[in-house]
Chains A and B, each alone.
Chain A
């Protein structure tokens, strides 16, 4: 079963909304108006490090549950990328799709 990009973006946005509510950094952001360009972490990002970890693990579990895969989003490989895959909703979507593709899903 292939995961559609839109479906994945939807999962990520819902997760970001849930965890951003708990973060002080999200003050002043309109959580209803998030999109692929929304910055997740660093600078004006919505999430603190704990929020980011929570989102990544939540997305990972939801994707693995629905796709029957065993991807790991936050690991040394992700951390050693030249540009962080966790900077925005769009870059995270791309990265997860790459991981799924590698697992043949």
Chain B
């Protein structure tokens, strides 16, 4: 029985349609179908057995997509590892109890190596007993140790069987990220086209949108802020864009409003996803509104003490290297603080990032949103710092466009904030930094107190 017959049949019906534009070259669905068959025979010849745990090591490439599908067909447990985690690869292979390494870094065609490993993790054993394929995703570990989320791949695939509209979609998220997997599966299931780019500079992204007539841009607020600052949108024709989705972090209101001004015809949609749960469908109240409805089929939500909890059919089975984060009834505490208005919610920020100044709560993104409007500011990250008088104080670290002496900048910032922020929200300490304050996945990194 072929697990992906429904998807492969669609490929066969659209052989001339490109499934991916990679390094500016189109690869078509007919090619993909052949490449999947090619991988199936290669895996068989190399003695890779159904149900084995296989790492796929390398960045986005057409053949990696084919390999992923071939592995799914033979019920493998797939562990995508990109070059960005190079230093952690041995550790990650061990956590996942990998038995086969397929590496594209040395050999673009992929080299297959067997390593002796016995499956001892109870979650992996349960998945194997169920006869389902798996996916292991490592969290970025920017706030501590990387956690390995194990998913039953059948649950992730299920929602894509319902046909939906297809788009030409640009992606810079890779296959080791729930958002990257989601974009890929959505596109393939509806025979759309992915435009994959290595260079995430705003100019490179805008050039790719113009050249390949991209319709859908899934991205993050941090990238959209860089796009505004670069003014790259003035240099390229972005008229093909129909929708921009943004997620992974809280959107500063000001960035959203400006994107809406610049691209008024583009639908702006917030997404909400977590590597533990998958991506939820969401609907924004208005294009320039941060109020969203989340949920949809397979997801239930509830709010306890202003924190969003979710129960999802597509939830991971658990972490391979940490205790299960679900309560007895299967609810997951997202750790995101929200405000509620009827059926809509607004994500305020991570509960762990809330700053408490003398009992008053400060959400970093609210302060950042104001500070981004201050002239000469390119980026800013706000966090809390311990203080013996008020418990915590607000600290802001700025990246400036042009160099400016700290005392003058501090004075200017305070004057600017006076009418725009309550006194307790105005940063008490500021720093000017030169290193970028976002991750490779374009997500803001706020410092935590040790």
Judge: A and B partners, yes or no: yes
Of the candidates B358, B414, B418, B430, the one whose C-beta lies within 8 Å of that of A49 is B358
Cβ of B387 within 8 Å of any chain A Cβ, yes or no, is yes
Contact A53-B428, Cβ < 8 Å, known A74-B388, A78-B388, A79-B388: yes
Cβ of B406 within 8 Å of any chain A Cβ, yes or no, is yes
Q: Please indicate the chain B residues that have their CB under 8 angstroms from the CB of A30 in the complex.
A: none
Query: B407 and A52: CB pair below 8 A?
Result: no
Query: A53 and B407: CB pair below 8 A?
Result: no
Query: B358 and A50: CB pair below 8 A?
Result: yes
- The stretch of A1-9, A31-39, A54-62, A91-99 in contact with B is A54-62
Q: Which of B408-447 contact A (CB under 8 A)?
A: 410, 414, 418, 423-424, 426, 428-430
Cβ of B1 within 8 Å of any chain A Cβ, yes or no, is no
The answer for the CA separation of A42 and B356 in the assembled complex, in Å, is 22
Q: Please indicate the chain A residues that have their CB under 8 angstroms from the CB of B430 in the complex.
A: 61
Closest chain-A Cβ to B191's Cβ sits at a distance in Å of 58
Cβ of B338 within 8 Å of any chain A Cβ, yes or no, is no
The answer for the CA separation of A51 and B414 in the assembled complex, in Å, is 13
Closest chain-B Cβ to A43's Cβ sits at a distance in Å of 16
The answer for the CA separation of A62 and B390 in the assembled complex, in Å, is 21
Query: B407 and A74: CB pair below 8 A?
Result: no
Cβ of A75 within 8 Å of any chain B Cβ, yes or no, is yes
The answer for the CA separation of A54 and B388 in the assembled complex, in Å, is 13
Instruction: Find the B residue at minimum CB distance from A19.
Output: B423
The answer for the CA separation of A76 and B389 in the assembled complex, in Å, is 9
Cβ of A65 within 8 Å of any chain B Cβ, yes or no, is yes
Cβ of B269 within 8 Å of any chain A Cβ, yes or no, is no
Cβ of B393 within 8 Å of any chain A Cβ, yes or no, is yes
Q: Please indicate the chain B residues that have their CB under 8 angstroms from the CB of A74 in the complex.
A: 387-389
Instruction: Find the B residue at minimum CB distance from A56.
Output: B389
Query: A57 and B428: CB pair below 8 A?
Result: yes
Residues 376-418 of chain B, each 1 if its beta carbon lies under 8 Å from chain A, else 0: 0000000000011110010000000000001100100010001
Instruction: Find the A residue at minimum CB distance from B392.
Output: A53
Query: B388 and A22: CB pair below 8 A?
Result: no
The answer for the CA separation of A74 and B391 in the assembled complex, in Å, is 11
Interface size on A, residues (CB 8 A): 19
Query: B423 and A22: CB pair below 8 A?
Result: yes
The answer for the CA separation of A53 and B358 in the assembled complex, in Å, is 10
For chain B, the bracket of interface size reads: 10 to 19
Number of residue pairs across A and B with beta carbons under 8 Å? Answer: 42
The answer for the CA separation of A79 and B389 in the assembled complex, in Å, is 8
Q: Please indicate the chain B residues that have their CB under 8 angstroms from the CB of A51 in the complex.
A: 423
Query: B388 and A57: CB pair below 8 A?
Result: no
Contact A50-B388, Cβ < 8 Å, known A22-B423, A61-B410, A65-B407: no
Cβ of B70 within 8 Å of any chain A Cβ, yes or no, is no
Contact A57-B429, Cβ < 8 Å, known A65-B406, A79-B388: yes
Query: A53 and B393: CB pair below 8 A?
Result: yes
Instruction: Find the A residue at minimum CB distance from B357.
Output: A50
Q: Which of B210-228 contact A (CB under 8 A)?
A: none
Q: Please indicate the chain A residues that have their CB under 8 angstroms from the CB of B393 in the complex.
A: 53, 57
The answer for the CA separation of A79 and B430 in the assembled complex, in Å, is 23
Q: Please indicate the chain A residues that have their CB under 8 angstroms from the CB of B406 in the complex.
A: 61, 65
Q: Please indicate the chain B residues that have their CB under 8 angstroms from the CB of A57 in the complex.
A: 393, 428-429
Query: A49 and B389: CB pair below 8 A?
Result: yes
Q: Please indicate the chain B residues that have their CB under 8 angstroms from the CB of A18 in the complex.
A: 414
Q: Please indicate the chain B residues that have their CB under 8 angstroms from the CB of A49 in the complex.
A: 358, 389-390
The answer for the CA separation of A57 and B387 in the assembled complex, in Å, is 10
Q: Please indicate the chain A residues that have their CB under 8 angstroms from the CB of B390 in the complex.
A: 49-50, 53
Query: A50 and B410: CB pair below 8 A?
Result: no
The answer for the CA separation of A50 and B394 in the assembled complex, in Å, is 11
Q: Please indicate the chain B residues that have their CB under 8 angstroms from the CB of A53 in the complex.
A: 387, 389-390, 393, 428
Closest chain-A Cβ to B139's Cβ sits at a distance in Å of 34
Q: Please indicate the chain B residues that have their CB under 8 angstroms from the CB of A61 in the complex.
A: 406, 410, 429-430
The answer for the CA separation of A22 and B357 in the assembled complex, in Å, is 16
Query: A52 and B428: CB pair below 8 A?
Result: no
Q: Which of B21-47 contact A (CB under 8 A)?
A: none
24 examples of A-B residue contacts, CB within 8 angstroms: A18-B414, A49-B389, A49-B390, A50-B390, A50-B423, A50-B424, A51-B423, A52-B389, A53-B387, A53-B389, A54-B423, A54-B426, A56-B389, A57-B393, A57-B429, A58-B428, A61-B406, A61-B430, A62-B407, A65-B407, A74-B387, A74-B389, A76-B388, A79-B388
**Additional pairs, 13, CB under 8 Å, beyond known A50-B424, A51-B423, A79-B388:** A49-B358, A50-B358, A50-B390, A53-B387, A53-B389, A53-B390, A54-B426, A57-B393, A57-B428, A57-B429, A61-B406, A62-B407, A65-B407
Q: Which 4 A-B pairs have the closest CB atoms?
A: A57-B428, A79-B388, A53-B389, A53-B390
Interface residues in chain B, defined as those with a beta carbon under 8 Å from any beta carbon in chain A: 357-358, 387-390, 393, 406-407, 410, 414, 418, 423-424, 426, 428-430
